[in-house]
């Protein structure tokens, strides 16, 4: 089963215990437990490569990004002046990334590859964003044979259908190979839950999150593509585009959905959900 697991993970840094204060550690407990459950499932899947769709890496105008560097590394500092920090460095699956880029381009999708530093070698090292680091801290950090990583970035300026089709391309490529793959939609939900937050308050935030939770429970993730742009803008999620890629993956590989957790520990919603390949598939 080349692509045996997929998931939706949050990326708020305080879900990592080393970056949380005593107060926020308790506040993020439900989500942290959800992440640990996902990590258990990913370890069971034993992937050779984890494909991460993140909204906080390359922000390319009207282009989907595929990272083709040999490595990616980064660090996160604890909040409120804390001296605590976490660091992570991973090897990238350059072969998969380049073939994905080639297939997506031939398909007519607006895709671009990106390297950083040098062409190859240790200096080919794209800075790792928190949308990649936080989920991988749980999913890849502790494995003895650490999986390689492919980082992709959706575009908000193109039709959702193209992000969806890119997800289909990921699934088709993974299914054509003998290695094992996991797909991660790194996604925090609506960001307008509290007036005190940086995006203010909107009633659309709770409704957006309710719709996403319902779509996961019914295993109809593609239904989120019908949400109006005005509604999405009011709710202010950073999740729609990565989850649309996941919906494309699910259109090619039949999977059963499981919601592990949902909470709003701060001004944005956080969902942990897993998708395990259907046994009869």
Q: Which residues of the chain have pLDDT under 50?
A: 281
Angle between helices 130-139 and 29-45 (to 10 degrees): 70
pLDDT at 100: 98
- Using a cut of 0.85, tell me whether the model's pTM lies above it: yes
Q: Which domains does the chain have, with CATH numbers?
A: 3-191+238-277 (3.40.830.10)
pLDDT at 26: 85
Separation of CA 169 from chain center: 16
pLDDT at 143: 60
Q: Which residues make beta-bridge pairs with 126?
A: 72
pLDDT at 82: 60
Q: How many residues does the chain have?
A: 281
Helix intervals (H) in 219-270? 229-235, 240-252
Helix (H, G, I), strand (E, B) or coil at 64: strand
Helix (H, G, I), strand (E, B) or coil at 115: coil
CB atoms within 10 A of CB 138: 21
Residue 18: partners with Cβ closer than 8 Å, 6 or more residues away: 78, 84, 85, 86
pLDDT at 144: 62
């Amino acid at each position: 089963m080349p692509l045996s697991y997929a998931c939706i993970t949050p990326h708020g840094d305080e879900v990592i215990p080393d970056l949380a204060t005593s107060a926020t550690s308790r506040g993020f407990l439900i989500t942290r437990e959800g992440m640990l459950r996902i990590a258990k499932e990913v370890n069971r899947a034993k992937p050779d490569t984890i494909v991460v769709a993140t909204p906080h890496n390359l922000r390319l105008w009207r282009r989907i990004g595929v990272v083709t560097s040999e490595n990616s590394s980064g660090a996160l500092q604890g909040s409120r002046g804390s001296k605590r920090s976490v660091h992570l460095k991973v090897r990238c699956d350059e072969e998969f990334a380049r073939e994905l880029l080639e297939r997506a381009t031939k398909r007519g999708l607006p895709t671009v590859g990106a390297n950083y530093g040098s062409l190859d070698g240790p200096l080919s090292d794209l800075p790792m964003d928190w949308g990649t680091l936080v989920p991988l801290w749980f999913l890849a950090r502790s494995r003895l044979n650490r999986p390689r990583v492919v980082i992709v970035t959706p575009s908000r300026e193109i039709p959702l259908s193209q992000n969806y089709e890119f997800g289909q391309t990921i699934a088709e490529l993974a299914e054509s190979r003998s290695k094992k793959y996991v797909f991660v939609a790194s996604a925090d939900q609506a960001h307008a839950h509290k007036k005190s937050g940086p995006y203010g308050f909107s009633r659309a935030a709770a409704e957006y999150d309710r719709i996403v939770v319902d779509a996961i429970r019914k295993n109809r993730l593609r239904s989120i593509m019908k949400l109006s742009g005005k509604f999405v803008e009011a709710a202010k999620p950073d999740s729609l585009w990565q989850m649309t890629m996941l919906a494309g993956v699910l259109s090619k590989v039949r999977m059963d959905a499981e919601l592990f957790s949902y909470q709003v520990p701060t001004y944005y919603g956080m969902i942990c959900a897993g998708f395990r390949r259907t046994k009869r598939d």
